[in-house]
Amino acid sequence: MAVQTFTLYICKHIGEFSRGRVSVNDFDMSKSIGNRPSDYVLLGKIEQEIDVPEIDTTPLQVQAIEDAIQSERAESQVRVNILLDRLSKLKAIGHDAPVNA
């Protein structure tokens, strides 16, 4: 285990949606982005020491990648099936059309 210090920013949402909601983040949401003013005000920030466990995340990463591959294959197969269906319908139309001499 390793103790790490994190800076946490406590912000309150003052925008049109979710007004009044308070959130804790690892960044200051009250900072303006470009010319657009922020929808948050900074209520405060704190330094927090957290005992972060040292674990090997490799198995979790492998599982996430395998899940992504499975999802991509399924989505790809759906698109391929649509194309195969369109192709078979076009070929069937060609065989049913009368031949002009």
Dist. CA 87–CA 101, nearest whole Å: 26
Both tokens of 77, joined, read 């197969």
pTM of the predicted model as reported, rounded to 2 decimal places:
0.53
Half-sphere exposure of 3 (CA within 13 A, CB side): 3
Both tokens of 52, joined, read 């972060």
Q: Are 48 and 5 in contact (CB under 8 A)?
A: yes
* Locus of tokens 């909601």: 21
pLDDT (tens, 9 = 90+) of the chain, 101 residues, equals 789 999 999 999 988 777 789 999 999 988 887 778 888 999 999 999 999 999 999 999 999 999 999 999 999 999 999 999 999 998 887 665 566 65
